Amino acid sequence: MPFDAAPAANDATTLDAFLASVERRGFRMAELALGHREDALDAVQEAMIRLVSYRDRPPAEWTPLFWSILRRQVTDRHRRNAVRRRVLSVLGRPGEERDDPLEMLPDPNEDPARRHADAAAWSALGKALRALPRRQREAYLLRELQGLDTAATAAAMGCSEGSVKTHLSRAMAALRIQLEDWR
């Protein structure tokens, strides 16, 4: 039996390494798509937990599976947030978002002007991405930000490679127009 136990531990190590390699990129993608840090963290965490149930699949399948799961998590959170906003507007209770006081402290190692410019550019990109139709946003995030190839993106989105190319082309055209000031 010790012979069988070693590959299982090795698979867990491989899955842990895979999850560690996509964690930050997944968070950035979710944060751009959702516009809210805590929702993005929850979406990535839930996607990682769900991917564990696919640990028996070959490691080559994990990348499109993870991005597909994360894409569905983002879509679900968009829906939940829309319902929450409608309910709160009917009840007359505006949603309060408070900034983390630790994040508001200046970082002594960074140039404040550059940090502000980077944050403004990131915010503008996120706003422009959230204005795109869902499929265009997904194609852009998976292809351009995550660097997946067309086949992996198509597998993650559940569509053809031609659809990925069409969605990406339309997204790029719309973003060029919306982000003209940031060139």
Q: List pLDDT tens digits, range 131-180.
A: 999 999 999 988 988 888 999 999 989 999 999 999 999 999 999 998 88
Domains of the chain in start order, with CATH, are 1-95 (no CATH), 118-183 (1.10.10.10)
Whether residue 62 contacts residue 73, with contact meaning beta carbons closer than 8 Å, is answered with no
Highest mean pLDDT among 5-9, 118-122, 172-176 belongs to 172-176
Say which residues have a Cβ less than 8 Å from residue 22's Cβ, sequence separation at least 6: 63, 66
Helices (H), the chain: 2-34, 37-52, 59-91, 101-104, 112-131, 134-140, 150-157, 161-178
